[in-house]
Structures are given as structure tokens and as C-alpha cells.
């Protein structure tokens, strides 16, 4: 048994050893400090995936929790990171939070959801459109709230093994003592390689047999939390630690003799995040909510000469230190509810690039970016409807810029309005819209990615004008949500390829404008006893204004993504699920900056979960999952197709 398999096996043994005494609380109270629910609050479109939803889908990681949510997708980029995208927008336009604290590394503006353990997260909420101002700066497309919960008691867990050396295991437990609650979680995932769907889709930098070149992964996560719930004050402190080492698949569309792909590996990735949550009732109708976070992040990137990954050329060593806080004061002044919000974050990035051929290390470059937000939001009943309006002031400064040109401070005003009312029996109509701004991340301003990018010191913030209409109907055996949307972007950050001394480099620039419109839809229907159907889909058009782009269609935005699932429970202990998803065609840039077509693809997944025993109050189930049954090629990004067929078997204890 390899060392990586021992990780999963050890965690599985922990589950089996402790689980007989486990019990789960049904209560779902948690300390929510991003955009809390209030009776008269009207919010833009949002999707919620609860614990039952997530368990049924058997996700391997947090990224796969976003499957089959309309308007939401997760894809692996050229750096090997699995990132979330809302309505096809760039990953930095979607903010990710864990228990109310931003999870993205500020230098890069994104987080790899593919290494975060699925067992840690108990629920996911996705906000789309002009999201509430508590989410702060940069959420121009949407926000994803990952919540660990704080009410679990006893222990539960899972373990799975599968194709190409895949293995994972997780254990989560908690205990309550009076007003205090403790929670812990441990998780490990390993794989030798990602499976290949079609070798013809990998013409370069790919071995003749075996899994995808350089896609091995080892990751271990630890999480602990201690909470207190008193009559007036509630507080919780949590600590997350994730350590990872991995390979990055080379872009298989590039001929090394013409335009060599990046041959990279991450020998070390370390993320530690401390989060403090608190709320206090300071009056009959007034509550103060606060969250503070401290994040430490480090990574090393080794660049190799070729696909053999034997000769290292350069190494990049990064260290990041981030400190931030958010305060929300909520009060009622009849008939209005008022929220005052302020947030601040400072992040330092230090980087050293070393030429491993000569052994000469470059200078230690230090960068800093500060983000600030202050705003207010009010809920107001307006006769038969209710409305929520908000306004905020955002500001970004970069006091340290390494060896790059100094940057001026930038600021912007954000605002939004949402109105909701009943238009028929069991039918609600919500209209929402607003303006949001995203400041360029420090990496977009200063990062050269080991010689891949040409920096643009004139890069400016991007602005989005957003509008949504959501029609929701809830029947006795079915429900339907239809959500047309529109987004007008100004200064949207794109990429173009430029030639410098005979070398093709990418350069970020502000497009004059973009326009995206489409519709999200979702329906659930009970067909008969034990048989349910789910249908979801997004149809979208995303175009740049004519004149400043090589071609108008925005990159990596599929024209549609549609699918559904059948869920069958022939008897209480057995659950069967079949899923289908079709991803429409899209476009991308090739190595020379020319337009490349990304073909449509189909994905079929199978899931099964059979409860076979009970040990005390715990249920023991065996699980089976088949991902991409048809082994079809889905290409979210040129040269980086999604994995092929994978089969997984496991055990789960709840």
C-alpha cells in the first residue's frame, strides 16, 4: 500500500472506530455573518445546497459540490486550480467564503476548491447578480458561501477508493458541553493521475498509456472549531489547515517544438486560516455581528524543461499573510430594518524567483494590497411588496509594489435595489439589480508567472451593471425557478497575446465593454412514489464590444450548460441517482492568440448509496459512483480537457 493510500485508510479506520457512538443533531443553527436572513430582506437570486443534497451527489471535493446548480460551474485552469465561475464569469469575479471569511488568496484573487475536502462543508449557498454589500469588494458576478455548521455531535465520516490510485477519507465530529460546542474534521485525498477520456484530445506532452501526465495529487486537511452560544453573545473560533503537493497538467494542444507549454509542479502548498465569528444583542432590536480572519499561505512552483519532469529550470517561492475584519450593525427602526457594514483587509505577498540552472536567487519582492468597504442597506415594506436598497463605497490601495511601478489608489461606489412580491398563488417575482466593481488582484497587476505574462501597469478596475428577474413557483409536488439575467461590463479585464523579441506573451488589458445575457432555470418534480426528477440549465450569450478584442465572443463561456437527474429510492435503505449534463460550445485563445473552438461535450454520472447496517444510532452505507460514464471529452479550456471515466467505491457512516 502506498503512503498516499495509507492517508485514506487511516482516516477510514478512525471513522469505523469512533462512529458507533455517533449521533447527528437535526438543528441547523449557525453563526452566519455574511448576508444573514431577515424577514423583510429581499436578495438577488441564490441557490442553497444543504447537507442531504451534498451527500447524495458524493462530491470528491468542494468544487464538485457546485455541480448541477444552474449558472454555476467549476473548471480546472492552466495552473491546475479548480475554480468556481458564476454565469461563465472569470474566476476572480466570484468571491468564495468559508464561514463568512474570504477564502481566496488575495495576491491571486482565487482559491483552489479542488483540494478542499467535501466532508468539511455542510452546506453551500451561491448568490448571483448584485449580491448583498456584506460580501464586500470584487463580487461582481456572485459569491459562494461555504459553511461548516456548528451543531454536529458525535462522529461521522466516509472513505472511497477509485480509478488511477484515487483514495479519499474524511472524519467529522462534534460535541456540546453546556453552552460550548466543539467540532473537528480531518480529511485526506490522493490520486496517481486523472483518467484520460480520449488520447486523441492530448496530442502533445502526454504519455502513451496511463493517466494524464503530471496530474498526481496528495492533500491533507485539518479543521477545528470551538463555539459559545449564550443568551446575549455568541462566538466561534475555527482553524483550517490544508497541505498539498501536486502536478499540473501541461497544455496538451501545444507542440513543444513551436510553443512549449508550462511544465510545472507544486512541491509544497500550505494554507492556514483562522476565523473568529461573533454576534451580540446590544438592544431590543439591535445586533452587532463581526468576523475576523487571518490567513497564512505559502507555495513553491517548480518549472521543468520538458514533459519528463526530471530537470528543473526555475523555482518560484511565495509567502502571503492576510488580515481582515467585517462588522455589521443591524437594527430595526419601524417599519424599516437597517444594516451598516464596514470591512477592511490587508494582504502582503513576498516572492523569490530562483534560476535552478545557475543556483542564483533573485531579489525578494514584497507587495501589499489593501481593500476597504463601508456601506448601508435598508429593508422597507412597500404595500404589497417589499424592497431592499443598498449603497457602499469601495477603495483599494497598493502601498508596496515590489520592483514594479507604483499604483494610484482607486475607489468606486456600489449600489443595488431588489423588490419582491407575490404575483399569483405560490408564485413570487423578484426584481434586482445594481452596480459592482472589482479591483485587479496584485497578481494581475504585477505577476509575470515565470515569464508567461507581460505586466500592464495601466490596468484599471472593472465595473459591472447587473439586472435579474426571478420567477419562483412552489407547488405540492413540483417547483420551478426561472431567472433571466443581464450584465453590462465596463473595463472588463481580458487577455491578449503580444510578441516581444519573438516570444509570445499574454497581457491583461481593460476591454471597453462586455455584454452578457441569458437565463438560468431549475425545476424539481415528484414523478411517482420514490422517483423524482431534477432539471437545470443556463443559456447565455457573452460578447465584447466591437473594436478592442480580437473577436467578440468572450473566452471560455459555454453557450449553454443544461442537464438533469433522476433520483430513485425503491425502498428506504437504497438511493439510486443518474445525472446528465451537456456543456455547450465555447471559444478560447491558442498559443499564438488566435481563436480556437471548444466543442460541446456530454457527461453522464451514476450514484448509489445503500444503507446496509446500523451501529447504535449510526447508519452504515456502501457507496458507488461512476463519473463521466461515457468517457466523453469536455474541454472547458483549450488543451485541458476534463477527466475521463472514474469508478469509485466506498463506505459512509452517519
Length of the chain equals 654
Q: What is the pLDDT of residue 152?
A: 67
With a cut of 60, say whether residue 19 has pLDDT above it. no
Q: pLDDT band at residue 32, thresholds of 50, 70 and 90?
A: low
- Which residue carries 476591454 as its cell? 511
Per-residue pLDDT tens over the stretch 399-448: 999 999 899 999 999 999 999 999 999 999 999 999 999 999 999 999 88
Per-residue pLDDT tens over the stretch 456-486: 888 999 999 999 999 999 999 999 999 999 9
Q: What is the pLDDT of residue 654?
A: 85
Least confident of 199-208, 284-293, 595-604: 199-208
Q: What is the DSSP string of 51-68?
A: HHHHHHH--SBSGGGGTT
Q: What is the pLDDT of residue 33?
A: 62
Q: What is the pLDDT of residue 512?
A: 86
- 484/23 Cα distance (integer angstroms): 42
The strand pairing partners of 489, in sequence order, are 464, 514
Q: pLDDT band at residue 611, thresholds of 50, 70 and 90?
A: very high
Considering the chain, what percentage of its residues have pLDDT values greater than 70?
94
Q: What is the pLDDT of residue 27?
A: 36
CA distances (Å), 60 to each of 56, 294, 627, in order? 12, 27, 10
Find all residues with CB under 8 Å of 194, minimum gap 6, and list them. Answer: 164, 211, 212, 215, 249, 643, 644
Per-residue pLDDT tens over the stretch 204-213: 999 878 899 9
Q: pLDDT band at residue 450, thresholds of 50, 70 and 90?
A: low
Mean pLDDT of the chain: 89
CA distances (Å), 147 to each of 22, 48, 575, 594, in order? 21, 11, 25, 41
**Topology of domain 3-653, CATH:** Maltoporin; Chain A (2.40.170)
Q: What is the pLDDT of residue 88?
A: 84
56: its cell numbers: 447524495
The strand pairing partners of 369, in sequence order, are 347
- 104/116 Cα distance (integer angstroms): 12
> What mean pLDDT is predicted for residues 234-261?
91
Q: pLDDT band at residue 11, thresholds of 50, 70 and 90?
A: very low
> What mean pLDDT is predicted for residues 510-523?
93
CB 629, CB 606: distance < 8 Å: yes
**pTM of whole model > 0.75?**
yes
Q: What is the pLDDT of residue 37?
A: 74
Amino acid at each position: 500500500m502506498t503512503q498516499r493510500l495509507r492517508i485514506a485508510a487511516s482516516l477510514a479506520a478512525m471513522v469505523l472506530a469512533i462512529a458507533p457512538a455517533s449521533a447527528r443533531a437535526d438543528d441547523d443553527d449557525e453563526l452566519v455573518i455574511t448576508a444573514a436572513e431577515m424577514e423583510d430582506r429581499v436578495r438577488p437570486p441564490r441557490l442553497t445546497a444543504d447537507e442531504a443534497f451534498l451527500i447524495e451527489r458524493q462530491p470528491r471535493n468542494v468544487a464538485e459540490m457546485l455541480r448541477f446548480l444552474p449558472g454555476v460551474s467549476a473548471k480546472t485552469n492552466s495552473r491546475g486550480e479548480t475554480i468556481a465561475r458564476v454565469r461563465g464569469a472569470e474566476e476572480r469575479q466570484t468571491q468564495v467564503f468559508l464561514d463568512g471569511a474570504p477564502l481566496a488568496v488575495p495576491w491571486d484573487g482565487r482559491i483552489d476548491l479542488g483540494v478542499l475536502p467535501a466532508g468539511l462543508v455542510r452546506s453551500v449557498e451561491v448568490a448571483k447578480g448584485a449580491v448583498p454589500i456584506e460580501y464586500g469588494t470584487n463580487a461582481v458576478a456572485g459569491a459562494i458561501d461555504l459553511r461548516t455548521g456548528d451543531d454536529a455531535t458525535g462522529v461521522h465520516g466516509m472513505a472511497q477508493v477509485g480509478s488511477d490510485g484515487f483514495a479519499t477519507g474524511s472524519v467529522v465530529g462534534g460535541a456540546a458541553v453546556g453552552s460550548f460546542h466543539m467540532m473537528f474534521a480531518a480529511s485526506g485525498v490522493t490520486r496517481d493521475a486523472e483518467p484520460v477520456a480520449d488520447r486523441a484530445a492530448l496530442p502533445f506532452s502526454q504519455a502513451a498509456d496511463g493517466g494524464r501526465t503530471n496530474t498526481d495529487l496528495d492533500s491533507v486537511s485539518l479543521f477545528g472549531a470551538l463555539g459559545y452560544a449564550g443568551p446575549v453573545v455568541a462566538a466561534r473560533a475555527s482553524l483550517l489547515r490544508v497541505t498539498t503537493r501536486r502536478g499540473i497538467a501541461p497544455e496538451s494542444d501545444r507542440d513543444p517544438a513551436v510553443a512549449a507549454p508550462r511544465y510545472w509542479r507544486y512541491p509544497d502548498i500550505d494554507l492556514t486560516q483562522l476565523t473568529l465569528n461573533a454576534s451580540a444583542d446590544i438592544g431590543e432590536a439591535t445586533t452587532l455581528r463581526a468576523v475576523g480572519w487571518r490567513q497564512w499561505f505559502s507555495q513553491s512552483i517548480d518549472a521543468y524543461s520538458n514533459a519528463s519532469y526530471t530537470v528543473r529550470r526555475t523555482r518560484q517561492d511565495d509567502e502571503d499573510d492576510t488580515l481582515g475584519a467585517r462588522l455589521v450593525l443591524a437594527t430595526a427602526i419601524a417599519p424599516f430594518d437597517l444594516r451598516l457594514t464596514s470591512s477592511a483587509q490587508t494582504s502582503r505577498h513576498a516572492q523569490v524567483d530562483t534560476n535552478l540552472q545557475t543556483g542564483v536567487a533573485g531579489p525578494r519582492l514584497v507587495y501589499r494590497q489593501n481593500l476597504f468597504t463601508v456601506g448601508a442597506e435598508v429593508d422597507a415594506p412597500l404595500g404589497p411588496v417589499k424592497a431592499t436598497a443598498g449603497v457602499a463605497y469601495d477603495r483599494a490601495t497598493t502601498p508596496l509594489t515590489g520592483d514594479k511601478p507604483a499604483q494610484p489608489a482607486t475607489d468606486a461606489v456600489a449600489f443595488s435595489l431588489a423588490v419582491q412580491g407575490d404575483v399569483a398563488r405560490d408564485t413570487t417575482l423578484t426584481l434586482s439589480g445594481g452596480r459592482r466593481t472589482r479591483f485587479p488582484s496584485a497578481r494581475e497587476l504585477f505577476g509575470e508567472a515565470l515569464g508567461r505574462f507581460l505586466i500592464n501597469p495601466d490596468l484599471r478596475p472593472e465595473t459591472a451593471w447587473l439586472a435579474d428577474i426571478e420567477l419562483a413557483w412552489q407547488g405540492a409536488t413540483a417547483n420551478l425557478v426561472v431567472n433571466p439575467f443581464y450584465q453590462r461590463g465596463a473595463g472588463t479585464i481580458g487577455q491578449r497575446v503580444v510578441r516581444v523579441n519573438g516570444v509570445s506573451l499574454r497581457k491583461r488589458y481593460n476591454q471597453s465593454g462586455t455584454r452578457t445575457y441569458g437565463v438560468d432555470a431549475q425545476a424539481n418534480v415528484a414523478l411517482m412514489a420514490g422517483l423524482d426528477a431534477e432539471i437545470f440549465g443556463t443559456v447565455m450569450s457573452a460578447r465584447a464590444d466591437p473594436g478592442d478584442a480580437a473577436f467578440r465572443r468572450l473566452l471560455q463561456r459555454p453557450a449553454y450548460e443544461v442537464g438533469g437527474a433522476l433520483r430513485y429510492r425503491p425502498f428506504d435503505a437504497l438511493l439510486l441517482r443518474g445525472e446528465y449534463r451537456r456543456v455547450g460550445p465555447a471559444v478560447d485563445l491558442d498559443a499564438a492568440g488566435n481563436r480556437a473552438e471548444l466543442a460541446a461535450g456530454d457527461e453522464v454520472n451514476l450514484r448509489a448509496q445503500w444503507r446496509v447496517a446500523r451501529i447504535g444510532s449510526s447508519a452504515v452505507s456502501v457507496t458507488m459512483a461512476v463519473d463521466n460514464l461515457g468517457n466523453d471529452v469536455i474541454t472547458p479550456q483549450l488543451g485541458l480537457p476534463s477527466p475521463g471515466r472514474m469508478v469509485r467505491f466506498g463506505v459512509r457512516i452517519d
